[in-house]
Structure 1
Amino acid sequence: MATKNFSILFVASEVEGLIKSGGLADVAKALPEALLELDQDVRLTLPAYRKVNGIESAPVLLETKLEHWPHTEYKVRELTAAGVKAYAIDCPQYFDRPEMYAENNQAYQDNGERFAFFSAACLDMLPKLGFQPDIIHANDWHTGFVPFLLKHRYGNDAFFAQTKSVISIHNAVFKGVFSYDELQCLPEFHGRYAPDAAVSTTHVTMLKAGVMNADKINAVSPTYAEELKTQLGSHGMAAEFQSRADDLVGILNGCDYSAWNPETDPLLPANYQADEASMVEGKSACKRELQKRVGLQVRDVAMYGMVCRLTNQKGVHYLLPILSQFLNNDVQVVVVGTGDPVLASQLKEVEALHSDKFKFIEAYDNGLAHLVEAGSDFFLMPSEFEPCGLNQIYSMAYGTLPIVRGVGGLKDSVHDFDTDPQVATGFVFLEPEPTALLLTMQRSLLLYAQQLSEIRRVQLYAMQQNFCWNKAAQEYIKLYQQAFQY
């Protein structure tokens, strides 16, 4: 089948380079950029939050109001992200705030209304801008009402007659559950009846609205697509995903190697490439710098790094019970992250007992994250669930062996040393138990202590893996073609 040149509107609540809180932003920058390189006419849209880079000076393309009740006034400003045109929807009552979603760990009370409006404005602006997309690609719960409104509000609108919708599920634990009262800015909910969005008689979930109305659904790894059809893996939406099983695929995220490449990374004290001498020398220099930066003794020792949000999803609760025991070995461990204050205080307690071997840095620090990836020998990702995960891919690029639980995208991207040493890129365990993690960390340490040359071979092999976005983007184009034949 010849590749069609699609016009695509990529709708996301955050985009790397403009504003970011997590991995969704990385995808929202890198995938459109890769689609553009494959000659697709792709454009982005996001809310014009106060902190969006360059928002104040961004030219206004459109001053208008919603055609549908409540006729909210808004502007569309033009930005670019990685060469892709971006439409920022500027509505101060919703988006001119200090943060994107929450302040002081408290979600904004009107998040349902804010993102319902955003979804409505994304569609409302298109005829006015004269951009008629073949595909509207929504992402996660914030944009779940885009496929819903495309079908319910614009189902008979000639402008949208050929437009298909796709929704990507980056993390189904966040569903956007709101009461009908919180969504009165959409007349579609005035009757308090929406079976294809309802989760109870009083509440709807924006993610369900997207999943039940999109033409195609994509999960960000093949294994996660399978997990979404199970009670455990779907976080309560198994029936919906099962009912759409024929339209559900899993495409593994790519890696933005322009930002994560040890050969060119400006945040490292020494750059290195995938040959043994360069790698050993470069990683040693990065390890020394990491030790200095966090206040550990500078010496040649097995280094374990972890950079994550402090949540149970990331498996911090598997690490904490066994961390002190593991620190009885000749090792150093560095954890960088922010999040759950209880987990943070527990990590501080371990640091107080083992400050010569363990450092916890409670910060979101991109420079330090790059240094941990390069300076560590092993990277910990013992996730409870992980739709795709990017840090295991970054780790491999930096010759740092990921230690992961075999779920979601981790299972799809990391090969276990004991299972198949020739193609190994890290260490994998399955049981959601602290002891399973401990045994796997000890396996890695034993190999480091007894067969360093074997560790080096696996590190080099890991560096040669390629999870480029170009490959993923071609899979998305196939998905768009399938949506068109829907």
Structure 2
Amino acid sequence: MAKTKILFVTHEMSPFLEIIKISEITRQLPQAMQEKGFEIRILMPRFGNINERRNRLHEVIRLSGMNIVVDNNDNPLIIKVASLPAARMQVYFLDNEEYFQRKKIFRDEKGEFFADNNERSLFFCKGALETVKKLGWSPDVVHCHGWFTAMIPAYLKTAYKDDPAFKDAKVMYSLYANEEFGSLSPKYAEMAGQEDMDVAEAANYGDGSYVDMYKGALSFTDVVVYGDEDIHPELKSYIDEKGIRTFIPKGDDDYEGFADLFDEFATADAETESV
């Protein structure tokens, strides 16, 4: 039987970038799943404060060279990779000089949320999916972590729904407390709808506030994972109202629970195909 394939997409991961709890979860969970026999891939942005020499990043020429369109502008995408020898894992980094080569991550030196964080997020989300396609790899599950990945569920369920690389993929989204966030403005949805989906579908992301952004993402999500106990109450109410399936791990190291969930998705696909 083929291994279940899991794509982890995150904006932070230990030891490369550590902001909140996400970094540790995205470091340990993929390794635990790999040790249980799952096939995994991990994608994250190559922010400017990630030291290439210390972390031994190098460009993957065969994957680089794509252009990602955001707000009707072509933006070159460079793919780099680093290995975690102790875990036998590789991490793919998406790089772009204009969007990611800054000393700061989400806020400038004055503490202001970057005005183009909406563009940066869209570039990363679309670039991640295009990178997976170029890898020639089809995930059974796409597991998103952090607000920077917020448009991936919508892309998967609209623009990429008939793409052979993703047509059967299920979407999981882990929610966390205390995320570093400002506002993406209504232009987040507007720009996403320019090239890749119907404007009405992108409108689920509302005014780009934290709550609206996640309401948009969760409306395209198959299972919501509670990565923390104190999730925003409006999001909890929205999840209940829409009847979105939830998974509440018994702890951060509830790897058996995650493994059962991932396997369930792959099994469901296999059963559907055999009917």
2:256 corresponds to = 474
Letter in 1 for 2:78: K
Q: Is it true that 1:72 corresponds to 2:47 in the alignment? A: no
Percent of counterpart pairs with the same letter? Answer: 19
> How big is each residue's C-alpha offset from its partner over 1:338-361, in whole Å with a ceiling of 9 and x where there is no partner?
xxxxxxxxxxxxxxxxxxxxxxxx
Contact 1:176 1:206 in 2 (8 A): no
Q: Distance in 2 between matches of 1:199 and 1:172?
A: 21
Q: What are structure 2's unaligned runs of at least 5 residues?
A: 270-275
Counterpart among 214, 237, 244 of residue 207 in structure 1? 214
The structural deviation recorded for 1:54 is 2.6
Secondary structure at the counterpart of residue 114 of structure 1: helix
- Per the alignment, residue 128 of structure 1 pairs with 134
Distance 2:169 2:198 in 1: 27
Write out aligned runs for 1:24-423 (5 A). 24-54=22-52, 58-61=57-60, 62-66=63-67, 70-81=73-84, 82-104=87-109, 105-171=111-177, 177-182=183-188, 185-186=191-192, 187=194, 193-194=200-201, 197-200=204-207, 205-220=212-227, 224=229, 233-234=232-233, 236-254=234-252
Q: Shift of residue 123 of structure 1? A: 0.3
Aligned residues: 259
Structure-1 separation of matches of 2:208 and 2:43: 32
SS state of the match for residue 74, structure 1? strand
Which one has a bigger Cα radius of gyration?
1
Deviation at 1:70, TM superposition (A): 3.9
Contact kept, 8 Å, 1:79 with 1:86, in 2: the verdict is yes
**3-state DSSP of counterpart to 2:184:** strand
**Distance in structure 1 (CA, Å) of the matches to 2:235 and 2:195:** 22
Structure number with the bigger relative contact order (C-alpha 8 A, sep ≥ 6) is: 2
Is the deviation greater in 19-28 or in 473-482? 473-482
1:19 is the counterpart of 2:17: yes
Q: Indicate conservation of the 8 Å contact 1:13/1:46, yes or no.
A: yes
TM-score, structure 2 as length reference: 0.81
User: Cα distance 1:154–1:123, how it changes in 2: closer, same or farther (>3 A)?
Assistant: same
Structure-to-structure mapping, 1:401-480, within 5 angstroms: 469=253, 472-480=254-262
Give the whole-Å Cα distance in 2 for the aligned partners of 1:108 and 1:185: 16
Partner of 1:265: none
Moved over 6 A (4+): 172-176, 201-204
Query: Deviation per CA, 1:291-316, whole angstroms, max 9, x where unpaired?
Result: xxxxxxxxxxxxxxxxxxxxxxxxxx
Q: Residue 165 of structure 2: SS of its match in structure 1?
A: helix
RMSD of equivalent CA atoms: 3.0
Give the drift of 1:150: 0.6
CA-CA distance at 1:139 after TM superposition: 0.9
Deviation at 1:207, TM superposition (A): 1.8
Q: Give the secondary structure class of the aligned counterpart of 2:104.
A: coil
Name the SS of the counterpart of 1:88 in structure 2.
Answer: strand
Name the SS of the counterpart of 1:106 in structure 2.
coil
Q: Are the equivalent residues in 2 in contact too, given 1:216–1:483 (CA < 8 A)?
A: no
